[in-house]
Amino acid sequence: MNHDQARYGDDERYEPLLSEKDTTSVDVDEQSPLPDDLTRDSLELPGLSEPEIARHYTRLSQMNWSVESGPYPLGSCTMKYNPSFTEDVAADPNGAVHPDRSEASLQGTLEVLHGLQDYLARIGGMDAVTLQPPAGAAGEFTGILVAKAYHESRDDDRSEVIVPASAHGTNFASAAMAGYDVVELPSGEDGRVDLDALEAAVSEDTAALMLTNPNTVGLFERDIVEIADIVHDAGGLLYYDGANLNALLGRARPGDMGFDVMHYNVHKTFATPHGGGGPGAGPVGVVDDLVEFLPSPRVCETEGGYELCEPEQTIGKVHGYQGNWLVLVKAYAYIARLGDEGLEDASAKAVLNANYLAEQIDYEIPYEPFHHEFAATAGDRDAADVAKRMLDYGVHPPTTKWPEFVPEAMLTEPTEAESRASLDDLAAAFNAAMADSIEDVESAPSKTTARRIDQAAAARNPRLSWHALGDEE
| Interface with other proteins (CB under 8 A) | 401, 455-456, 459-460
Please state, as a whole number, how many other Cβ atoms lie within 10 Å of the Cβ of residue 146.
28
Give me the count of residues in the chain: 473
CA dihedral (160, 76, 369, 165) positive or negative: negative
Q: For the packed helices 420-435 and 383-391, what is the interaxial angle rounded to 10 degrees?
A: 120
Work out how close the CB of 451 gets to other proteins at its nearest, in angstroms, rounded to a whole number.
17
Min separation Cβ 191 and other proteins, Å = 21
Of 399, 324, 314, 292, which is closest to residue 116 (Cα–Cα)? Answer: 324
- Residue among 408 and 416 whose Cβ is closer to other proteins: 408
Task: Please say whether the beta carbons of 426 and 70 come within 8 A.
Answer: no
Sheet holding 237-241, edge to edge: 128-130, 284-286, 261-263, 237-241, 206-211, 160-164, 181-185
Q: What is the CA angle 142-147-150, rounded to 5?
A: 125
Looking at the Cβ atoms of 34 and 459, the one nearer to other proteins is 459
Compute the least distance from the CB of residue 434 to other proteins, in Å: 21
Cβ closest to other proteins, residue 125 vs residue 397: 397
Nearest approach in angstroms of CB 145 to other proteins is 25
Q: Can you point out the beta strands (E) in 269-404?
A: 284-286, 298-302, 305-309, 374-377, 399-400
- Looking at beta carbons only, is 26 or 456 nearer to other proteins? 456
What minimum distance in Å lies between the beta carbon of 366 and other proteins? 20
The whole-angstrom separation of Cα 302 and Cα 296 is 17
Q: Which is nearer to other proteins, 172 or 321 (CB)?
A: 172
Q: Which is nearer to other proteins, 421 or 456 (CB)?
A: 456
Question: Judged by CB, which is closer to other proteins: 155, or 473?
Answer: 473
Q: What is the gyration radius of the CA atoms in the chain, in angstroms?
A: 25
Nearer residue to other proteins within complex by CB, 460 or 467: 460
Report helix, strand or coil for 412: strand
Provide, rounded to whole angstroms, the least separation between the CB of residue 458 and other proteins. 9
Q: Shortest Cβ distance from residue 456 to other proteins (Å)?
A: 4
Rounded distance between C-alpha atoms, residue 290 and residue 133, angstroms = 16
Which of the 8 DSSP states describes residue 186? P
- Min. distance of Cβ 160 from other proteins in angstroms? 18
